[in-house]
Amino acid sequence: MKKVIVSPSILSADFANLERDIELIQEGGADWVHVDVMDGHFVPNITIGVPVVKAIKPVSKIPLDVHLMIENPQNYIDDFVEAGADIITIHYEAAKDMTEDILTHIKSHGILAGLSIKPATPACEILKYLLTADMVLVMTVEPGFGGQAFMKDCSGKIPVIRQNAPENLIIQVDGGINKETGKICTELGANSLVAGSYIYKSDDIKAAIASLKE
Ligand code: DX5
Ligand code: ZN
């Protein structure tokens, strides 16, 4: 079985204790730290930006997986790279015709480039980018907030993408992921899981992370 990359979302962490909460997931076996950047335009919520990525970079021993839920992502790539992002994922709905160029630009910095789709966007719209993207992020909730229920219908996109992808494409799923919904996704061909509330609200973070790798 393929190894699952677990990327806990710090959206569900205690923002007054981010260093402690990043250490908790690192010690718990997390592979990446998922950073949800929201601008109040692309999604109806505002979260964190470049200064926070810069601040957590020195305290994180594992890669920073930066999920940009923002309009005009092309204007902010260099800032996030400089702040220390190791993976940058943009939204297809925000990038549109510029998708190929932005992915190529992210990769030119020597980091991984991800492409995400919202629940309403069919997988067929992004198949032409699978040779450029290092990762596709399938959203299984409407982006904007943690703690929402998993939309099972969206998981049907995973095998469509997997069947059309080069072997090394990472397929990540984000939204309402727990032990059960994570298993649905990995069985369909996903190999990276983002989870916020499931991990941070758990009494045993190590066990919660391990359960996503089973
Ligand atoms: C939602 C974010 C997610 C969110 C996941 O817009 O992209 O990363 O934090 O939270 P849970 O795991 O609680 O659904
Ligand atoms: Zn996310």
Q: Is the pLDDT score of 204 beyond 70?
A: yes
Mean pLDDT confidence for 175-182: 98
Q: Please give the single-letter amino acid code of residue 42.
A: F
174 is known as an active-site residue: yes
Ligand nearest to the CA of 181: 1
C-alpha of residue 38 to centroid of ligand 2, in Å: 9
Residue 202, pLDDT score: 98
Q: Which of these is catalytic: 36, 39, 65, 134?
A: 36
pLDDT digit string, tens, across residues 105-126:
999 999 999 999 999 999 999 9
Select the more confidently predicted residue: 78 or 2: 78
Centroid of ligand 1 to alpha carbon of 174 (angstroms): 6
99 C-beta closer than 6 A to ligand 1 = no
Ligand 1 atom at shortest distance from the alpha carbon of 143: 6
Catalytic residue among 21, 31, 65, 174: 174
The encoded tokens of residue 98 equal: 């510029």
Q: Check pLDDT > 80 for residue 103.
A: yes
Judge contact between 199 and 32, C-beta under 8 A: no
Ligand nearest to the CA of 45: 1
CA 208 to centroid of ligand 1, rounded, Å? 16
What are the structural domains of the chain? 5-213 (3.20.20.70)
Mean pLDDT rounded to a whole number for the chain:
98
At position 209, the amino acid (one-letter code) is I
DSSP secondary structure letter of residue 4: P
pLDDT value at residue 2? 64
**Distance from Cα 144 to the centre of ligand 2, integer Å:** 9
The response to whether residue 197 sits with its C-beta less than 6 Å from ligand 1 reads yes
Indicate whether residue 177 lines ligand 1 (CB < 6 A): yes
Would you say 137 and 3 are in contact if contact means Cβ atoms under 8 Å apart? no
Are the CB atoms for 10 and 145 separated by under 8 Å?
A: no
Structure token digits, residue 60 = 């994180």
Q: What is the mean pLDDT of residues 76-87?
A: 98
Closest ligand 1 atom to Cα of 175: 14
- SS3 call for 39: strand
